Amino acid sequence: MSILCDHGVPVVPFASSSFMLARSGRLCKVELAPVRRFLDLGLVPLFGGDLVPDLEQGWRVVSADQMASWIAPRIGAAMIIYGTDVDGLYASDPKASEDARLIESLHYDEVGRVARFVLGSGKPDVTAGMRGKLLEAQKAARKGVKVAIMNLNRPQDLHAILDGRHGRWTTIFPRRKLE
């Protein structure tokens, strides 16, 4: 939050557990009125993966990836930007091979085929690593939201992504609204 504030982004922190409910680890209800109101006021709601009450299991950790794919289409967001420690989606593991090729773009209906070959996280991780991020991105793109997967170690790329330019990241193009 402090980094965003230092860069002039007017953020408002939200505790995920105070406005979200899950069922079997999947979001099933999110109170969007406060999110929309802050957006209308020009403020940016900030929340992340966290413990969320679960109607069947008491509580579950729900990833920020899932939260973004659930909320973005419902508030009319044009884009989700997922930040990672690599440039985007690769054809092979970029941490294991210098020859790994960055996949610069995918259409939402290609994601399922590609996700079968993408690694999950090698560590305990509720997001299921890049595979989980990719499957959440597909859900949002299926509902018309464009998704970028970028390297947060190069925050200058955010401006280029938001300006619609091309660069060293992966873009998942959404289903057209008319389909």
Q: Is residue 72 part of a domain?
A: no
User: What does the pLDDT look like over 126-171, one tens digit per residue?
Assistant: 566 888 899 999 999 999 999 999 998 888 888 889 888 889 999 9
Regarding whether 116 and 173 lie in a shared domain, the answer is yes
Q: Is residue 74 part of a domain?
A: no
pTM score, two decimals? 0.85
Cα–Cα distance for residue pair 14/12, rounded to 1 Å: 7
Q: Give the domain range for residue 165.
A: 79-179
Question: Under 8 Å CB-to-CB from 145, ≥6 apart: which residues?
Answer: 69, 72, 73, 77, 78, 79, 80, 174
pLDDT of residue 79: 94
Q: Is residue 73 part of a domain?
A: no
User: What does the pLDDT look like over 32-78, one tens digit per residue?
Assistant: 999 999 999 999 999 889 999 999 999 999 999 999 999 999 999 99
Q: In the 8-state DSSP scheme, what is residue 64?
A: H
Regarding whether 89 and 57 lie in a shared domain, the answer is no
Domain count, the chain: 2
